[in-house]
Amino acid sequence: MRRTTVDGRPAYTPAQGAAEWAAGQMRAVLDRSGDRSAILHRFVSSLDPAGEQILRAALREHRPDSAPAAGDPPGSRWGSSPSPKAGSGCAPPVP
């Protein structure tokens, strides 16, 4: 919280936005975890299609100059890590 004054009285405003705070919390969980891969896979598998598209767009914006890995569909920016095992709840990359 940041303290300011409005009309001579104290006022408080958030030091960071909700999205920044949530991202920091997610980062802290990943930093404390013993298995980042499992957490990220579980998170991705819980996304609805709209959430997946938002995440894909964010990843493309974050690394716009990264080249697709061998075996990725044309136009894909997703890595070519091994396909998830059947029943793992992780959807395969979609171009």
* Per-residue pLDDT reduced to its tens digit, 6-57: 898 988 888 889 999 999 999 999 999 989 999 999 999 999 999 999 999 9
pTM summary value = 0.51
**Distance between CA atoms of 71 and 92, rounded to whole angstroms?**
13
Contact criterion met (CB below 8 Å) for 45 and 91:
yes
Q: Pick from 89, 62, 66, 88: which is nearest to 76 by CA?
A: 66
pLDDT digits 0-9 by tens, 56-76: 999 999 886 765 554 445 554
Element (H, E) at 2: strand 2-6
